[in-house]
Amino acid sequence: MPAIKIENFSYAYHHPHKVLDNINITVDQGSFAVILGPSGAGKTTLCLALAGAVPHYFGGSLAGSVSVNAVSAADSTMPELAQTVGSVLQDYEVQLVTMTVEEEIAFSLENLGLEEEKVLACISQTLATVGLAGYEQAEVASLSGGQKQRLAIASVLAADPSILVLDEPASALDPEGTRALYKLLDELKRQKGLTIIVVEHDIAQVLPYADQFILLNDGRLIQAGSPDAVLTYMWTNELTPEALPPLWRLKLALEAQTGLQLSAWRTEQSAIAELSACLSKRGAANV
């Protein structure tokens, strides 16, 4: 059973223009999927549909279906869905509503009807998972941007969802905070088997971790598949080539110019290792 199955899904806010048009996507359980596409492509709307806010909160008209763990999102209430899909909004600070860190997690647990002892254990466990152990009594306002982001993730993890949806989670983070965030999401995937879905503009940041790229443009699904297949498609079809990571621009240009078939680079280290091996082979051949 896939974690997410979107079939022939179209959606319009309160005007006739479809902001999502006949979308078909499957995301496997325990995988890391990244939604890509230029501004206005419909990435946020797709996240809202996974959380049920589209259509339950925003209204509008839709066709087709969005299923999470084989349950129709449109036929579930938002609180029901929140137990399966944890969503961290683009402006995640609005999700933080209490004075202290501990209260923030307790607030999320209140609706689940957990006994007080279990609430305390769950608070420490959830904070430890996101690297905020010991911050229970800290004031939310005193946290750094990266720590607030982690707290927003912890507050949705407290409900024990199996799917985590994050809309541009790194937009307010510095490069180090961004690297730490994606490492954390990768750990949640590997250690807890969570399905991770993120919207991200900076492809290089997610390249080491992604299993699937989903490319949208103007409400349509352009490509969904392995990162390698989608990046090659973007390059070949000159689709937002400026969004390609520099590493991949180099790889694809080298392949086009030399006829070499290089492997699917995920990190600078893998690129350096392969290029060094190629150069020493050539060097040996020229001796």
Ligand X SMILES: Nc1ncnc2c1ncn2[C@@H]1O[C@H](COP(=O)(O)OP(=O)(O)OP(=O)(O)O)[C@@H](O)[C@H]1O
Q: By CB under 6 A, name the binding residues for ligand X.
A: 13, 19, 37, 39-45, 58
What minimum distance in Å lies between the beta carbon of 255 and ligand X?
30
Residue (37 or 106) nearer to ligand X, CB: 37
How many helices, marked H, and strands, marked E, lie in the chain?
11, 10
Treating both helix axes as pointing N-terminal to C-terminal, what angle do 101-110 and 116-129 enclose, rounded to 10 degrees? 120
What minimum distance in Å lies between the beta carbon of 39 and ligand X?
3
What minimum distance in Å lies between the beta carbon of 199 and ligand X?
7
Q: What are the C-alpha distances in Å from 14 to residues 23, 54, 75?
A: 19, 12, 20
What minimum distance in Å lies between the beta carbon of 204 and ligand X?
17
DSSP 170: T
Residue (13 or 233) nearer to ligand X, CB: 13
Q: What are the C-alpha distances in Å from 19 to residues 7, 25, 49, 52, 105?
A: 15, 16, 12, 16, 34
- Cβ-contact 43, 37 below 8 angstroms: yes
Residue (193 or 241) nearer to ligand X, CB: 241
Residue (37 or 169) nearer to ligand X, CB: 37
Q: Give the residue from 234, 247, 278 showing the smallest Cα distance to 34.
A: 234
Residue (40 or 175) nearer to ligand X, CB: 40
Any idea what the Cα angle at residue 200 is, between residues 199 and 206, rounded to 5°? 115
Residue (26 or 171) nearer to ligand X, CB: 171
Residue (89 or 122) nearer to ligand X, CB: 89
Treating both helix axes as pointing N-terminal to C-terminal, what angle do 116-129 and 145-157 enclose, rounded to 10 degrees? 130
Q: How far apart are CA 173 and CA 266, in angstroms?
A: 22
What minimum distance in Å lies between the beta carbon of 64 and ligand X?
17
What minimum distance in Å lies between the beta carbon of 279 and ligand X?
40
What minimum distance in Å lies between the beta carbon of 49 and ligand X?
10
- Cβ-contact 37, 230 below 8 angstroms: no
- Cβ-contact 120, 103 below 8 angstroms: no
